[in-house]
Structure 1
Amino acid sequence: MTIFDMAGHLIRRLHQQSTYLFAQRTQAAGIDLTPVQYAALEAINTRPATDQARVAEIIGYDRATIGGVIDRLEKKGWISRVVSDRDRRARELTLTGEGRQVLSALHPIVQAVQQDILHPLSEAERECFVSLARKVVWQGDNASDAGDVEQKSSNTR
């Protein structure tokens, strides 16, 4: 087996290609954003008033560094943080009006990037690839309840 037959190497290379396409397209649109920041915006959009720890869990990012991601999104004016009424130690995150506009502008860009990432594959192969990748990710996610929720919801699509 060569390195070119190893899943880990191929996944790393695909990640590089995906990140490059994402950066290229978002920069061309004049939007300064990383894939992790996009994932955080999506998580906050689908679960308004959630806290930082839950966002980290939802997107599979470590809790120690999600703070920097959230700080940058807040500095851009795309999210707001308020003290939770339920837990004074927690800060609830919501998208601002500008954050909703940015996310709305990003949706077609991100959808196009997804198509470009898998452009050599047929539609059936794309669906199979995503299904298999989802299975590997959720199985390796130590049965996190974020993964379970996302997997169940995507299985019904």
Structure 2
Amino acid sequence: MMIFQEMSCEPNLTAPQFITLCTIQSMVSCSITDIVSATAVDQATMRGVIDRLKSKGWVYLSEDLKDRRKVMISLSVAGAELLKKMIPCAKDITEATMSDLNPAERLALIFLLKKMGSGGK
């Protein structure tokens, strides 16, 4: 987390918020349950993350047209612009995070992270 905060192009953006914004961008419009499933962050924590993203104007909430009880989350224009600015920065953060690993260790780490993310499948 320290590397992320030090190298981020946006000082008010945390790593969990960045991950959430990337997830929302990839899904276009999604529910909090969708985001929880994609990120493995618990629902209570994710609600806080979404509230902070909304207060910063990076996402907006709307009702699902099919189920009015369901809240849909989408990137705002400001959120999309932030991601456009952050993606190159995130690549530098990843490089700094893995700088002490040799190529084989990097591949092994990426393989293990993907395996963990897919539930070990």
Q: TM-score, normalised by structure 2?
A: 0.91
Aligned equivalent of 1:33: 13
The structure that has the greater radius of gyration is: 1
**2-side partners of 1:30 and 1:120: how far apart?**
25
Aligned CA RMSD, in angstroms, stands at 1.6
Q: Structure 1 residue 120: deviation in Å? A: 1.6
Task: Select between 117-126 and 94-103 the one with higher mean Cα deviation.
Answer: 117-126
Asked if residue 65 in structure 1 is aligned to residue 45 in structure 2, the reply is yes
Structure 2: any 5+ residue segments left out of the alignment?
A: none
Query: Percent identity among equivalent residues?
Result: 26
Structure 1: any 5+ residue segments left out of the alignment?
A: 1-18, 144-157
Gap change, CA 1:125 and 1:65, over 3 Å in 2: closer
**2-side partners of 1:43 and 1:96: how far apart?**
14
What is the aligned residue count? Answer: 121
Asked if residue 43 in structure 1 is aligned to residue 23 in structure 2, the reply is yes
Runs of 4+ in 1 over 3 A off after TM superposition: none
Q: TM-score, normalised by structure 1?
A: 0.71
Q: Structure 1 residue 137: deviation in Å? A: 4.1
Letter in 1 for 2:18: Y
Specify which structure has the higher proportion of helix.
1
Q: Which has the higher contact order (CA 8 A, sep 6+)?
A: 2
Q: Structure 1 residue 123: deviation in Å? A: 2.8
For the 8 Å contact 2:10–2:86, the answer to whether it is kept is no
Aligned equivalent of 1:22: 4
1:98-143 Cα deviation digits (max 9, x unpaired) = 1000011110111111111111223343122211232234335xx7
2:69 paired residue among 89, 97, 111: 89
1:7-47 Cα deviation digits (max 9, x unpaired) = xxxxxxxxxxxx11001112xx3431111111110110000
Asked if residue 56 in structure 1 is aligned to residue 36 in structure 2, the reply is yes
Letter in 2 for 1:78: W
Gap change, CA 1:58 and 1:121, over 3 Å in 2: same
Alignment of 1:72-151 (within 5 A): 72-139=52-119
**2-side partners of 1:79 and 1:65: how far apart?**
16
Q: Secondary structure at the match of 1:139?
A: coil
**1-side partners of 2:95 and 2:52: how far apart?**
28
Q: Secondary structure at the match of 2:61?
A: strand
